[in-house]
Amino acid sequence: MAPLLHITEQDLSFYNTLGLRSQARAFLRLHSTRNLQDLSETAARYPGVVILGGGSNVVLAPRLDELVVHVATRGVALVDDDADSVLVEAQAGESWHNFVELCVERGWHGLENLALIPGTCGAAPVQNIGAYGVEQSDFFHSLVAWDMRRSMQVEMGPGDCLFAYRDSFFKRAEQGRWVILAVRYRFPREWTPKLGYPDLARHPALALAGPGVTPRDVFNAVCDIRRAKLPDPAELANAGSFFKNPVVNARTFRKLRDLHPGLVAYPVDDGSHYKLAAGWLIERAGWKGRRLGPVGMHERQALVMVNHGGASARDIQVLADVIRAEVATRFGVHLEQEPVALGSMAGEAG
């Protein structure tokens, strides 16, 4: 049997950054894009398919009866190079942070603000990851995916992917149908730093560099800021930002600001809407650094839910539900969870 189709049971505790106890009945590591037809045929024998990359944005059920496909393909290549831009392709299993750093090193600029975001390149368009004023969709060109249902390879552009804030076509598609194989980004030759977020504007190294700031300066500053604010999943299990920053219309924002001076928000859509800082709402609701059983919100960043040890998907969802209810009661704002519940027993997790 080809290595691609080597299926085993697998403890997934180390395949999700939340460190949840989870067991896969059938686990397959995808090292190559060969034999994808066999992958579709194999998947048909199971009740479903779960696609797993770096495991940084998932809440895994205690047991997964689906076929778990762990995407572990590697490689970055320059696809096109002209006077105005470069086109770069990354295989889906590549570490996102390593890819961003490689781009900085090779002069492919634009993604510096997205440094140190955990996960893989294949997961980036699914979540449409973003940070410090930049989203991956700002430079996204296209991707290659395998359609498990039709057993065929397809290319998809920005219009096909339906990118929105922390959202895409893939988040609403049938679970396990699409396996992203490679992602392409186009970077312009002319680079302009995005330093609008206060944390970046205040960073000493960037302030010192002034108009001479470089992509490497921005990359290093973002890494400094994230390391100071966010726990390393290798040291304290977490899935990064657990809730999306809610977006409200300008009228609602003004009412909230009047009721809650100091409300942290950023204008979007030319000021017709505002993105509220979910971490600020959670902190004001009293959950920064507070625990409920084995899980809690981080002491330095209220937006990050952490597993202090031994937590299950049920523990995660109980705390998420409590926080949502308390924020809704205090502010009248609904928080939406970012990590996706995966597994046939995901119902146990809410």
**Choosing from 94, 101, 112, 338, which is the catalytic residue?**
338
Strands 49-52 and 63-71, bridge-based pairing: parallel
How far, CA to CA in Å, does 268 sit from each of 184, 253, 271? Answer: 27, 12, 5
Of the chain, the end-to-end C-alpha distance in Å amounts to: 38
The residues with which 70 forms a beta bridge, in sequence order, are: 29, 52
The residues with which 59 forms a beta bridge, in sequence order, are: 341
Q: Where are the alpha helices (DSSP H) in the chain?
A: 36-43, 96-106, 124-127, 158-161, 169-172, 198-202, 204-209, 215-229, 250-259, 278-284, 313-331
Query: Which of helix, strand or coil describes residue 25?
Result: strand
How far, CA to CA in Å, does 71 sit from each of 84, 119, 120, 176, 179? Answer: 33, 11, 9, 12, 8
**Is 338 a residue of the active site?**
yes
**Choosing from 166, 226, 284, 324, which is the catalytic residue?**
166
**Is 174 a residue of the active site?**
no
Between CA 118 and CA 42 the distance in angstroms is: 30
Residue 330 contacts residue 263 (beta carbons within 8 Å): no
**Choosing from 184, 241, 283, 284, which is the catalytic residue?**
241
CA 81 from centroid of its chain's CA atoms: 28
Among all residues, which ones are annotated catalytic?
A: 166, 241, 338
